[in-house]
Structure 1
Amino acid sequence: MTAPTNIDPKDVQAHLAQFKGDKYRDGWASLWDKGNGLPWDKGFPNPALEDALVQRRATIGGAIGQDAQGQSYRRKALVPGCGRGVDVLLLASFGFDAYGLEYSATAVEACKKEQAENHSWYRVRDQSIGQGNVTFIQGDFFDDAWLQKIGVALNGFDIIYDYTFFCALDPSMRPKWALRHTQLLSPSPAGNLICLEFPRHKDPKAAGPPYPSSSEAYMEHLSHPGEDIPYNEQGLIKQDPLRAPSKAGLERVAYWQPERTHETGQGENGKIEDRVSIWRRRN
């Protein structure tokens, strides 16, 4: 297993502060090039995702789907900002054709190294289904070039898993983040965006990354993709109860506190602060 890095998150914050606007992604790539990666990388998949795939299968669906002609196919799962690829490999172990996207070429190489080490937690879960294909791709989440490289159309992913990606982006990028998910996720009910919401318990005024990410922030941005969402001086979402969700937005179909998660998602006395939410395109 690749050991997690010990870099201080404050050093990451100071480094990324030098990269404004669209250059923000270059800041993350340069961290990988320096050998730092993610300071909160635990080196193994979050157990909350594993539990969701097992316990919420009725909502998420299995790895094998059927098209309109009744032909079976292996469903596609995407992990944007996949880090070392641990969650990609976990999804493949459940039978999904899993794609890990990273902006950094160095990160992609780290993913391939993780795959080669063949850890026990990536074991095939169902021998009758087998393991899905694994593809790691370098590209910018916000453009289509990487989709063309792998031959996947827009709205072509049945599962998208978002963890430490939403919170890693500068909050000014959140409207684009939400809009992009609507462009990548397949139609309902087959398409499910799984968000492991983190860090919910961080002071809303604290610096990032990881940026404080309340459940209300996920709700407002995904319900109104591409729209500017106001935050107050305390860093909290200004919710308008009379504001209707966008017809182009996503709808939250499940929301719960996981039984297990990484220590970074726990507060005092081991209290789990993380939440898992599942989103679908509105019909």
Structure 2
Amino acid sequence: MFEQQPEKLQLHIKQLATEALQTAEPSAWFEVLYAEAQGDATQVPWAKLAPHPYLQDWLTNHQPFASRQKALIIGCGLGDDAEALAKLGFEVTAFDISPTAIAWCQQRFPNSTVNYLVADLFALPEKWHLAFDFVFECRNIQALPLNVRFSVISSVTSLVALGGTLLVITRVRDTEAEPNGPPWPLSDLELQQFESLGLQQVEKLVFLESEQVEVKQVRIEYQRHNSI
């Protein structure tokens, strides 16, 4: 995500993230980055203009899906993951904290059925509690520092409906020591918080981010039981 970018962009992102931490607004730097990009997707490290391949793989292997299931994309970026779900018949809500990113999505997909919204993972609408049959979280948690990790994992978990699925794609680390970020990969204990908050791990796949940069990642499927 970060290492595959030019060094100048890497350093700039770390500077933006550090400044956001110093102002106690750890997610504020996303809007700055999207606005500075001025429509150039190459300046947004995670914007591949295609669905995440490991999301697409999961979707391909779990079809068919029940009609009109409610899906939520967390930190939707430029919208490709949301559009992939919409094409499969999901009723999709996709949000990002960046107004620029949401406007960019709406410009890219003017006829989309996806409901693109500006929202904050730390201040979610009450009506979203236990509201979604499928929730996709890809690399948002790792982009936030450890001092808000339990809070953000709690927020993500709260979105999953009874009987619903959470699919998480994230970098992981092999130690509980605090990493140097961003990003800040998740530890085993941090991942266990999803289960302590009421989800059950169904499947875990480990993969490397690229052939050039061997960054360990996981795709984990969680499910919430039909009763709490």
Q: Relative to structure 1, is the Cα distance of residues 39 and 272 closer, same or farther in structure 2, using a 3 angstrom cutoff?
A: closer
Q: Which aligned pairs between 1:1-283 and structure 2 lie closer than 5 A?
A: 8-20=9-21, 22-35=24-37, 38-57=44-63, 62-64=65-67, 74-116=68-110, 133-145=113-125, 152-188=127-163, 191-198=164-171, 206-214=179-187, 216-223=188-195, 246=196, 248-257=197-206, 265-267=209-211, 273-282=216-225, 283=227
More strand by share: 2
What is the percent sequence identity of the aligned residues? 24
Q: Relative to structure 1, is the Cα distance of residues 201 and 38 closer, same or farther in structure 2, using a 3 angstrom cutoff?
A: farther
CA distance in 2, matches of 1:271, 1:208: 17
Aligned with 2:108: secondary structure?
Answer: helix
Unpaired runs of 5+ residues, structure 2, are: none
CA distance in 1, matches of 2:34, 2:5: 11
Write out per-residue CA displacement over residues 95-123 of structure 1, whole angstroms, 9 at most, x where no aligned residue.
Answer: 1111111111111011112224x8xxxxx
Unpaired runs of 5+ residues, structure 1, are: 65-73, 119-131, 224-245, 259-263
Decide whether the 8 Å contact of 2:146 with 2:178 is kept in 1.
no
Q: Relative to structure 1, is the Cα distance of residues 16 and 271 closer, same or farther in structure 2, using a 3 angstrom cutoff?
A: closer
Question: What value does the CA root-mean-square deviation take over the aligned residues?
Answer: 3.1
Q: Give the TM-score, by structure 2 length.
A: 0.81
Deviation at 1:217, TM superposition (A): 4.7
Q: Relative to structure 1, is the Cα distance of residues 254 and 209 closer, same or farther in structure 2, using a 3 angstrom cutoff?
A: same
Paired residue type of 1:14 = Q
Aligned with 2:182: secondary structure?
Answer: coil
Decide whether the 8 Å contact of 2:141 with 2:153 is kept in 1.
no
Q: Relative to structure 1, is the Cα distance of residues 10 and 213 closer, same or farther in structure 2, using a 3 angstrom cutoff?
A: farther
- Residue 227 of structure 1 corresponds to none
Instruction: Please identify the structure whose Cα radius of gyration is greater.
Output: 1
Aligned with 2:200: secondary structure?
Answer: strand
Paired residue type of 2:20 = F
Aligned with 1:187: secondary structure?
Answer: strand
Paired residue type of 1:109 = A
Deviation at 1:50, TM superposition (A): 0.9
Q: Relative to structure 1, is the Cα distance of residues 115 and 279 closer, same or farther in structure 2, using a 3 angstrom cutoff?
A: same
